[in-house]
Amino acid sequence: MTRVLVTGASGMLGGAVARALAERGDEVTVMQRRPSDSGLREVLGSVDDPAAVRRAVEGQEAVVHLAAKVNVVGPLAEYERTNITGTQLLVDAAREAGVTRFVHTSSPSVAHAGSALVGVGAEPADPVRARGSYARTKAAAEVIALAADGPGFAVTALRPHLVWGPGDTQLIGRLVARARAGRLPWVGDGAALVDSTYVDNARDALVAGLDALARPRAADSAHGRALVVTNDEPRPVGELIAGILAAHGAPMPRLTIGPTPAGVAGHAVDLAVAAAENVRPITEPPLTHFLVEQLTTAHWFTQRETHTALQWRPSVSLDDGLERLREAQ
């Protein structure tokens, strides 16, 4: 039994990780902003609150850090406060409290500078060239976390890509809501190959990452490394979106926008959002340049190093995941 703190447990993936750890017998504490009915020990507060962070890590042996600001848009200061400052506070407090294992949940977007990613591994996080406030601040956070790795404090950064599943309010919730409102266009031809990750596989990979840090350090271990996590089943982005919409009985988009006009529109939206941040924040823009890039460029990754370092492989295929999504409606 391990005493484990899970941050961001109010989210779909964080909650799944906390439940999985508790079910296997670990003593789990969750840190989140609002109380829940999880039945687990809770520390209420934000990761950018030093006092709350110190309370959360006290007596813990390990941390799985998922808390982050993940909205599509928002003031840069909010991303910095949660993603960068929060990670630094948590790392520092964890080491001071005697925590020995730290799993940092990152994103492949930290190494995406706008071009296609085809069969690559976990390239270095780049806080300067990453696209958008979320990716740049998550890149900085990953750098902070991995820099702390060393004797007595083992760190790994796992990058699940496009996590989805029943109860998802981020990717799936937005796609379905926009499709039903007639506000979801096809962007480009939908042929770009993308990886994604069914939530159960992402959950199991994070748990495997925690266990991997308990094993001795070696050249192919998870210690001090970033690893991308996916279902290892690249699909055309249009096919993946169509499968998700069909599972919810949502209508398919009727409008198609070419990549070039979509990119221009995305830039215009970015400018409008930036101008409105101090007046009337825009939280759900119809399109951004980052979203256009994600829909029109390939993003798929080799999983060879991930499988070796974590001693883990996905157990739920994309087709099985879509069927589970359909059954959950």
| Range 114-135 average pLDDT | 90
143: helix, strand or coil: helix
Residue type (1 letter), 61: E
| Range 49-73 average pLDDT | 94
| Range 155-180 average pLDDT | 92
- CATH superfamily to which 3-163+196-230+301-315 belongs: NAD(P)-binding Rossmann-like Domain (3.40.50.720)
pTM given for the model = 0.91
Max CA-CA distance within the chain? 56
Q: How confident is the model at residue 256 (pLDDT cuts 50, 70, 90)?
A: confident
Q: Which member of 134, 198, 300, 312 is catalytic?
A: 134
With left for phi above 0 and alpha for psi between -120 and 50, is residue 201 left, alpha or beta? alpha
**Which of the given ranges, 245-259, 272-286, 288-302, has the highest pLDDT on average?**
245-259
8 A C-beta contact, residue 43 and residue 49: no
Distance of CA 148 to the CA centre of its chain: 21
Q: Is the pLDDT confidence value at 266 over 60?
A: no
Distance of CA 2 to the CA centre of its chain: 24
d(CA 265, CA 153): 46
- CA-wise closest residue to 5 among 139, 83, 97: 97
d(CA 66, CA 87): 10
Pairwise pLDDT comparison (4 vs 35), residue with the higher score: 4
Domain ranges of the chain: 3-163+196-230+301-315
**79 among known catalytic residues:** no
d(CA 237, CA 257): 15
213-237 confidence digits (pLDDT tens):
999 999 999 999 999 999 999 999 9
d(CA 264, CA 267): 5
Pairwise pLDDT comparison (114 vs 274), residue with the higher score: 114
Q: How confident is the model at residue 260 (pLDDT cuts 50, 70, 90)?
A: low
